[in-house]
Structure 1
Protein backbone atom coordinates (compact mmCIF):
# COMPACT_ATOMS: atom_id res chain seq x y z
CA UNK A 1 0.00 0.00 0.00
CA UNK A 2 1.28 3.48 -0.83
CA UNK A 3 2.34 5.88 1.92
CA UNK A 4 -0.23 8.29 3.33
CA UNK A 5 0.31 12.05 2.95
CA UNK A 6 0.39 14.03 6.20
CA UNK A 7 0.24 17.68 7.14
CA UNK A 8 1.24 19.49 10.30
CA UNK A 9 -1.85 20.88 12.00
CA UNK A 10 -0.60 21.92 15.45
CA UNK A 11 2.50 22.45 17.55
CA UNK A 12 2.03 23.31 21.20
CA UNK A 13 3.44 22.67 24.65
CA UNK A 14 2.87 19.12 25.85
CA UNK A 15 0.60 18.76 28.86
CA UNK A 16 1.44 15.10 29.40
CA UNK A 17 5.22 15.67 29.20
CA UNK A 18 6.06 19.15 30.53
CA UNK A 19 9.09 20.73 28.87
CA UNK A 20 8.33 18.96 25.60
CA UNK A 21 6.00 19.79 22.74
CA UNK A 22 3.14 18.03 20.98
CA UNK A 23 3.33 17.95 17.20
CA UNK A 24 0.02 16.90 15.68
CA UNK A 25 0.07 15.50 12.16
CA UNK A 26 -3.05 14.76 10.17
CA UNK A 27 -3.70 12.19 7.47
CA UNK A 28 -4.74 14.42 4.54
CA UNK A 29 -7.29 11.94 3.25
CA UNK A 30 -8.72 10.08 6.23
CA UNK A 31 -8.29 12.95 8.70
CA UNK A 32 -6.73 10.75 11.38
CA UNK A 33 -4.47 12.60 13.76
CA UNK A 34 -1.05 11.39 14.84
CA UNK A 35 0.46 12.97 17.98
CA UNK A 36 4.25 13.06 18.39
CA UNK A 37 5.94 14.37 21.51
CA UNK A 38 9.15 16.18 20.57
CA UNK A 39 11.84 18.13 22.36
CA UNK A 40 11.95 21.92 22.62
CA UNK A 41 14.91 22.29 20.24
CA UNK A 42 13.17 20.34 17.49
CA UNK A 43 9.90 22.19 18.14
CA UNK A 44 11.73 25.49 17.74
CA UNK A 45 13.39 24.26 14.52
CA UNK A 46 10.00 23.28 13.07
CA UNK A 47 8.25 26.47 14.21
CA UNK A 48 10.99 28.75 12.83
CA UNK A 49 10.74 27.07 9.42
CA UNK A 50 6.93 27.05 9.40
CA UNK A 51 6.83 30.76 10.22
CA UNK A 52 9.51 31.49 7.58
CA UNK A 53 11.62 33.23 10.21
CA UNK A 54 15.24 34.05 9.44
CA UNK A 55 17.46 33.60 12.51
CA UNK A 56 20.58 35.78 12.68
CA UNK A 57 22.74 32.65 12.48
CA UNK A 58 21.68 29.30 11.00
CA UNK A 59 20.31 26.65 13.36
CA UNK A 60 21.55 23.07 12.92
CA UNK A 61 18.65 22.16 10.59
CA UNK A 62 19.34 25.29 8.52
CA UNK A 63 23.02 24.34 8.28
CA UNK A 64 22.12 20.83 7.12
CA UNK A 65 19.71 22.32 4.56
CA UNK A 66 22.40 24.70 3.27
CA UNK A 67 24.96 21.89 3.02
CA UNK A 68 22.53 19.71 1.11
CA UNK A 69 21.58 22.45 -1.32
CA UNK A 70 25.16 23.55 -1.96
CA UNK A 71 26.30 19.97 -2.60
CA UNK A 72 23.44 19.22 -5.00
CA UNK A 73 21.45 16.99 -2.68
CA UNK A 74 17.77 17.60 -2.12
CA UNK A 75 15.17 16.10 0.14
CA UNK A 76 12.61 14.14 -1.85
CA UNK A 77 10.37 13.05 1.03
CA UNK A 78 10.13 12.20 4.71
CA UNK A 79 8.51 8.89 5.60
CA UNK A 80 7.46 7.98 9.13
CA UNK A 81 8.16 4.32 8.62
CA UNK A 82 7.53 2.53 11.92
CA UNK A 83 5.79 2.86 15.27
CA UNK A 84 7.06 0.38 17.84
CA UNK A 85 6.82 0.50 21.63
CA UNK A 86 5.39 4.04 21.43
CA UNK A 87 8.42 5.23 19.44
CA UNK A 88 8.22 6.64 15.93
CA UNK A 89 10.93 5.98 13.32
CA UNK A 90 11.47 7.92 10.13
CA UNK A 91 13.48 7.83 6.94
CA UNK A 92 14.56 10.77 4.82
CA UNK A 93 14.83 10.12 1.11
CA UNK A 94 17.54 12.21 -0.53
CA UNK A 95 18.13 12.75 -4.23
CA UNK A 96 21.57 13.38 -5.67
CA UNK A 97 22.10 15.47 -8.80
CA UNK A 98 22.41 12.27 -10.85
CA UNK A 99 18.91 11.18 -9.71
CA UNK A 100 20.16 8.51 -7.31
CA UNK A 101 17.88 8.14 -4.27
CA UNK A 102 19.36 7.52 -0.84
CA UNK A 103 17.28 6.57 2.19
CA UNK A 104 18.60 7.40 5.66
CA UNK A 105 17.30 6.73 9.16
CA UNK A 106 16.35 9.90 11.09
CA UNK A 107 14.44 10.94 14.17
CA UNK A 108 10.97 12.02 13.03
CA UNK A 109 11.31 15.46 14.62
CA UNK A 110 14.57 16.14 12.75
CA UNK A 111 13.18 14.74 9.52
CA UNK A 112 10.07 16.93 9.82
CA UNK A 113 12.21 20.02 10.52
CA UNK A 114 14.02 19.32 7.24
CA UNK A 115 10.78 18.56 5.36
CA UNK A 116 9.39 21.97 6.30
CA UNK A 117 12.56 23.66 5.04
CA UNK A 118 12.52 21.77 1.73
CA UNK A 119 8.72 21.90 1.38
CA UNK A 120 8.77 18.22 0.52
CA UNK A 121 6.12 15.57 1.12
CA UNK A 122 5.65 14.26 4.65
CA UNK A 123 4.23 10.75 4.66
CA UNK A 124 3.64 7.73 6.87
CA UNK A 125 3.17 4.08 6.15
CA UNK A 126 -0.39 2.80 6.47
CA UNK A 127 0.77 0.65 9.43
CA UNK A 128 1.99 3.74 11.31
CA UNK A 129 -1.25 5.62 10.69
CA UNK A 130 -3.30 2.60 11.74
CA UNK A 131 -1.28 2.01 14.93
CA UNK A 132 -0.90 5.61 16.10
CA UNK A 133 -3.62 7.65 14.40
CA UNK A 134 -7.00 8.47 15.85
CA UNK A 135 -10.15 10.05 14.54
CA UNK A 136 -11.41 13.13 16.31
CA UNK A 137 -14.77 12.12 17.68
CA UNK A 138 -17.36 14.05 15.67
CA UNK A 139 -19.14 14.80 18.93
CA UNK A 140 -16.09 16.80 20.09
CA UNK A 141 -16.82 19.36 17.42
CA UNK A 142 -18.87 22.20 18.83
CA UNK A 143 -21.75 22.27 16.36
CA UNK A 144 -25.19 23.53 17.40
CA UNK A 145 -25.03 22.38 21.01
CA UNK A 146 -23.76 18.88 20.25
CA UNK A 147 -22.47 18.73 23.84
CA UNK A 148 -26.04 18.88 25.15
CA UNK A 149 -26.33 15.10 24.91
CA UNK A 150 -23.40 14.66 27.34
CA UNK A 151 -23.58 14.66 31.11
CA UNK A 152 -20.99 16.76 32.94
CA UNK A 153 -19.16 13.57 33.95
CA UNK A 154 -19.10 12.39 30.32
CA UNK A 155 -17.70 15.73 29.18
CA UNK A 156 -14.95 15.54 31.81
CA UNK A 157 -14.10 11.98 30.75
CA UNK A 158 -14.02 13.05 27.09
CA UNK A 159 -11.75 15.97 28.00
CA UNK A 160 -9.31 13.61 29.72
CA UNK A 161 -9.18 11.34 26.63
CA UNK A 162 -8.66 14.23 24.24
CA UNK A 163 -5.89 15.76 26.39
CA UNK A 164 -4.09 12.39 26.45
CA UNK A 165 -4.12 12.51 22.66
CA UNK A 166 -2.85 16.10 22.89
CA UNK A 167 -5.63 17.44 20.64
CA UNK A 168 -5.71 20.83 22.30
CA UNK A 169 -8.12 22.47 19.86
CA UNK A 170 -10.85 19.97 20.73
CA UNK A 171 -9.86 20.03 24.40
CA UNK A 172 -10.36 23.79 24.53
CA UNK A 173 -13.86 23.46 23.06
CA UNK A 174 -14.76 20.74 25.55
CA UNK A 175 -13.32 22.76 28.46
CA UNK A 176 -15.43 25.75 27.36
CA UNK A 177 -18.52 23.54 27.23
CA UNK A 178 -17.79 22.29 30.76
CA UNK A 179 -17.32 25.87 31.99
CA UNK A 180 -20.63 26.91 30.40
CA UNK A 181 -22.35 23.93 32.00
CA UNK A 182 -20.97 24.91 35.40
CA UNK A 183 -22.07 28.50 34.87
CA UNK A 184 -18.54 29.85 34.61
CA UNK A 185 -18.59 30.94 31.01
Structure 2
Protein backbone atom coordinates (compact mmCIF):
# COMPACT_ATOMS: atom_id res chain seq x y z
CA UNK A 1 0.00 0.00 0.00
CA UNK A 2 1.34 3.41 -0.96
CA UNK A 3 1.80 6.16 1.61
CA UNK A 4 0.39 9.66 1.15
CA UNK A 5 2.00 12.60 2.91
CA UNK A 6 -0.27 14.89 4.91
CA UNK A 7 0.18 18.44 6.14
CA UNK A 8 -1.70 20.20 8.93
CA UNK A 9 -4.22 22.74 7.69
CA UNK A 10 -5.47 23.86 11.08
CA UNK A 11 -8.02 23.24 13.80
CA UNK A 12 -11.70 23.92 13.23
CA UNK A 13 -13.97 24.48 16.21
CA UNK A 14 -17.71 24.09 16.45
CA UNK A 15 -19.71 27.27 16.95
CA UNK A 16 -22.62 25.27 18.39
CA UNK A 17 -21.01 22.57 20.57
CA UNK A 18 -18.62 23.39 23.36
CA UNK A 19 -15.45 21.32 23.34
CA UNK A 20 -15.83 19.88 19.82
CA UNK A 21 -12.74 20.22 17.60
CA UNK A 22 -11.65 18.85 14.24
CA UNK A 23 -8.03 18.59 13.19
CA UNK A 24 -7.82 19.25 9.45
CA UNK A 25 -5.09 17.41 7.53
CA UNK A 26 -4.34 18.20 3.88
CA UNK A 27 -3.20 15.78 1.20
CA UNK A 28 0.26 17.20 0.40
CA UNK A 29 0.01 16.61 -3.36
CA UNK A 30 -3.76 16.77 -3.79
CA UNK A 31 -6.98 18.52 -2.87
CA UNK A 32 -8.44 16.16 -0.29
CA UNK A 33 -8.76 16.99 3.39
CA UNK A 34 -8.86 14.49 6.25
CA UNK A 35 -10.81 15.85 9.25
CA UNK A 36 -10.26 14.03 12.55
CA UNK A 37 -12.34 14.83 15.64
CA UNK A 38 -10.08 15.27 18.67
CA UNK A 39 -10.37 16.17 22.34
CA UNK A 40 -9.86 19.63 23.81
CA UNK A 41 -6.51 18.90 25.48
CA UNK A 42 -4.99 17.43 22.31
CA UNK A 43 -6.37 20.32 20.25
CA UNK A 44 -4.75 22.79 22.63
CA UNK A 45 -1.43 20.94 22.53
CA UNK A 46 -1.41 20.85 18.72
CA UNK A 47 -2.39 24.52 18.47
CA UNK A 48 0.42 25.52 20.85
CA UNK A 49 2.93 23.55 18.77
CA UNK A 50 1.71 25.31 15.62
CA UNK A 51 1.86 28.77 17.20
CA UNK A 52 5.60 29.14 17.65
CA UNK A 53 5.32 32.27 19.79
CA UNK A 54 3.33 30.53 22.53
CA UNK A 55 5.47 28.99 25.27
CA UNK A 56 3.62 27.36 28.20
CA UNK A 57 5.15 28.23 31.59
CA UNK A 58 5.44 24.51 32.37
CA UNK A 59 5.83 21.62 29.89
CA UNK A 60 2.63 20.03 28.58
CA UNK A 61 2.48 16.23 28.42
CA UNK A 62 3.69 16.17 24.81
CA UNK A 63 6.48 18.64 25.64
CA UNK A 64 7.53 16.38 28.51
CA UNK A 65 7.68 13.40 26.14
CA UNK A 66 9.83 15.46 23.75
CA UNK A 67 12.22 16.49 26.55
CA UNK A 68 12.40 12.90 27.79
CA UNK A 69 13.11 11.60 24.27
CA UNK A 70 15.78 14.23 23.66
CA UNK A 71 17.51 13.34 26.91
CA UNK A 72 17.73 9.66 25.87
CA UNK A 73 18.49 10.30 22.18
CA UNK A 74 15.14 9.01 20.91
CA UNK A 75 14.00 10.54 17.63
CA UNK A 76 10.50 10.38 16.14
CA UNK A 77 11.12 9.74 12.44
CA UNK A 78 7.53 9.76 11.18
CA UNK A 79 3.89 9.19 12.06
CA UNK A 80 1.63 6.90 10.04
CA UNK A 81 -2.17 6.87 10.29
CA UNK A 82 -2.45 3.22 9.37
CA UNK A 83 -6.01 2.10 10.10
CA UNK A 84 -9.61 3.35 10.19
CA UNK A 85 -12.16 1.19 12.01
CA UNK A 86 -15.71 2.31 12.89
CA UNK A 87 -14.74 5.94 12.47
CA UNK A 88 -11.66 5.65 14.72
CA UNK A 89 -8.20 6.40 13.29
CA UNK A 90 -5.23 4.32 14.50
CA UNK A 91 -1.67 5.61 14.25
CA UNK A 92 1.90 4.46 14.73
CA UNK A 93 4.91 6.50 15.80
CA UNK A 94 8.15 5.38 14.13
CA UNK A 95 11.01 6.04 16.55
CA UNK A 96 14.76 5.52 16.31
CA UNK A 97 17.45 5.16 18.94
CA UNK A 98 21.01 3.96 18.30
CA UNK A 99 19.98 3.25 14.67
CA UNK A 100 17.31 0.81 15.88
CA UNK A 101 13.75 1.53 14.78
CA UNK A 102 10.74 0.88 16.98
CA UNK A 103 7.03 1.20 16.14
CA UNK A 104 4.78 2.51 18.93
CA UNK A 105 0.99 2.45 18.83
CA UNK A 106 -0.61 5.82 19.62
CA UNK A 107 -3.81 7.80 19.41
CA UNK A 108 -3.73 9.88 16.25
CA UNK A 109 -4.08 13.18 18.12
CA UNK A 110 -1.11 12.33 20.38
CA UNK A 111 0.96 11.10 17.45
CA UNK A 112 0.41 14.34 15.53
CA UNK A 113 1.14 16.49 18.58
CA UNK A 114 4.49 14.69 18.86
CA UNK A 115 5.18 14.82 15.11
CA UNK A 116 4.92 18.61 15.29
CA UNK A 117 7.41 18.81 18.14
CA UNK A 118 9.90 16.53 16.36
CA UNK A 119 9.29 18.13 12.93
CA UNK A 120 8.45 14.63 11.70
CA UNK A 121 6.36 13.99 8.57
CA UNK A 122 2.82 12.61 8.80
CA UNK A 123 1.56 9.92 6.41
CA UNK A 124 -1.51 7.81 5.79
CA UNK A 125 -2.25 5.01 3.36
CA UNK A 126 -3.95 5.78 0.08
CA UNK A 127 -6.90 3.48 0.82
CA UNK A 128 -7.64 5.38 4.07
CA UNK A 129 -7.57 8.72 2.26
CA UNK A 130 -9.77 7.26 -0.49
CA UNK A 131 -12.28 6.17 2.14
CA UNK A 132 -12.22 9.12 4.55
CA UNK A 133 -10.85 12.09 2.61
CA UNK A 134 -13.22 14.85 1.48
CA UNK A 135 -13.02 17.37 -1.33
CA UNK A 136 -13.91 21.00 -0.83
CA UNK A 137 -16.14 22.48 -3.49
CA UNK A 138 -16.42 26.11 -4.52
CA UNK A 139 -14.39 29.10 -3.41
CA UNK A 140 -12.81 29.51 -0.04
CA UNK A 141 -14.37 31.96 2.34
CA UNK A 142 -12.26 34.79 3.69
CA UNK A 143 -12.60 36.95 6.78
CA UNK A 144 -12.48 40.73 6.90
CA UNK A 145 -8.66 40.65 6.75
CA UNK A 146 -8.73 38.56 3.58
CA UNK A 147 -7.42 35.44 5.33
CA UNK A 148 -8.84 32.04 4.48
CA UNK A 149 -11.35 31.11 7.16
CA UNK A 150 -10.19 27.53 7.36
CA UNK A 151 -6.59 28.69 7.84
CA UNK A 152 -7.50 30.33 11.14
CA UNK A 153 -6.62 28.32 14.23
CA UNK A 154 -8.57 28.44 17.44
CA UNK A 155 -6.88 30.51 20.12
CA UNK A 156 -5.11 27.93 22.35
CA UNK A 157 -6.22 29.86 25.43
CA UNK A 158 -9.92 29.44 24.62
CA UNK A 159 -10.21 25.67 24.45
CA UNK A 160 -13.08 24.28 26.47
CA UNK A 161 -13.67 21.17 28.47
CA UNK A 162 -13.70 17.56 27.35
CA UNK A 163 -15.39 16.87 24.01
CA UNK A 164 -19.12 16.32 24.38
CA UNK A 165 -20.52 12.84 23.76
CA UNK A 166 -23.86 14.36 22.81
CA UNK A 167 -23.38 13.85 19.10
CA UNK A 168 -22.21 10.22 19.32
CA UNK A 169 -24.75 8.14 17.45
CA UNK A 170 -26.66 11.26 16.40
CA UNK A 171 -26.59 10.17 12.76
CA UNK A 172 -27.62 6.54 13.23
CA UNK A 173 -31.23 7.27 12.26
CA UNK A 174 -30.29 8.66 8.84
CA UNK A 175 -30.19 6.55 5.69
CA UNK A 176 -26.97 6.27 3.65
CA UNK A 177 -28.29 8.65 0.98
CA UNK A 178 -29.34 11.17 3.65
CA UNK A 179 -25.89 10.91 5.24
CA UNK A 180 -24.28 11.58 1.87
CA UNK A 181 -26.42 14.71 1.46
CA UNK A 182 -25.49 15.82 5.00
CA UNK A 183 -21.80 15.24 4.25
CA UNK A 184 -21.97 17.28 1.05
CA UNK A 185 -23.77 20.11 2.85
CA UNK A 186 -21.23 20.10 5.70
CA UNK A 187 -18.35 20.21 3.22
CA UNK A 188 -19.98 23.08 1.32
CA UNK A 189 -20.32 25.02 4.58
CA UNK A 190 -16.76 24.04 5.63
CA UNK A 191 -18.14 22.57 8.88
CA UNK A 192 -15.28 20.09 9.25
CA UNK A 193 -16.34 18.82 12.65
CA UNK A 194 -19.78 17.82 11.36
CA UNK A 195 -18.34 16.45 8.13
CA UNK A 196 -15.95 14.22 10.08
CA UNK A 197 -18.74 12.77 12.22
CA UNK A 198 -21.04 12.15 9.25
CA UNK A 199 -18.15 10.64 7.31
CA UNK A 200 -17.39 8.32 10.23
CA UNK A 201 -21.02 7.12 10.32
CA UNK A 202 -20.87 6.42 6.57
CA UNK A 203 -17.62 4.50 7.04
CA UNK A 204 -19.24 2.24 9.65
CA UNK A 205 -21.83 1.11 7.12
CA UNK A 206 -19.48 0.43 4.21
TM-score w.r.t. the length of structure 2 is 0.68
| CA–CA separation in structure 2 for the residues paired with 1:106 and 1:130 | 22
| Equivalent residue runs for 1:39-50 within 5 Å | 39-50=39-50
The alpha-carbon deviation at position 15 of structure 1 amounts to: 5.1
Q: Is the 8 A contact 2:11 2:24 kept in 1?
A: yes
Larger CA Rg, structure 1 vs 2: 1
- How many residues end up aligned between the 2 structures? 153
- Cα distance change of structure 1 residues 25 and 17 upon mapping to structure 2, 3 Å threshold: farther
Aligned with 2:57: secondary structure? coil
| 1:90 matched residue in structure 2 | 91
Q: Distance in 2 between matches of 1:76 and 1:55?
A: 25
Alignment partners' CA distance in 2, 1:111 and 1:16: 28
TM-score, structure 1 as length reference = 0.75
Runs of 4+ off more than 2 Å:
14-18, 157-165
Match of 1:102 in 2: 102
1:131 aligned counterpart, secondary structure: helix
Please, which runs of 5 or more residues in structure 2 have no aligned partner?
Answer: 142-182, 195-206
Matching of residue 79 in structure 1 with residue 80 in structure 2: yes
Partners in 1 of 2:140 and 2:44 — Cα distance? 31
Structure-1 separation of matches of 2:101 and 2:140: 46
Give the match for residue 139 of structure 2: 141
Instruction: Give the direction of change, closer, same or farther, for the CA distance of 1:160–1:111 in structure 2 (3 Å limit).
Output: closer
Greater mean alpha carbon deviation, residues 15-24 or residues 68-77: 15-24
Q: Distance in 1 between matches of 2:63 and 2:74?
A: 14
Report how far residue 12 of structure 1 moved: 2.2
d(CA) in 2 for partners of 1:133, 1:161: 11
Q: Deviations over 1:90-125 (max 9, x none)?
A: 0000011x2111001100000000011111101111
C-alpha distance in structure 1 between counterparts of 2:106 and 2:64, whole Å: 16
2:117 aligned partner? 117
In structure 2, do the counterparts of structure 1 residues 67 and 74 end up closer, same or farther at CA, with 3 Å as the change threshold?
Answer: same
Name the structure, 1 or 2, with higher relative contact order (CA <8 Å, separation 6+).
2
- The CA RMSD measured in Å over matched residues stands at 2.5
- SS class of match (2:192): coil
8 Å Cα contact 2:37-2:193 kept in structure 1: no
Alpha-carbon displacement from aligned partner over 1:113-150 (angstroms, at most 9, x marks no partner): 0011111101111121111101212xx2169xxxxxxx
- 1:84–1:38 CA distance, 2 compared to 1 (3 A): same
The answer to whether 1:63 aligns with 2:64 is yes
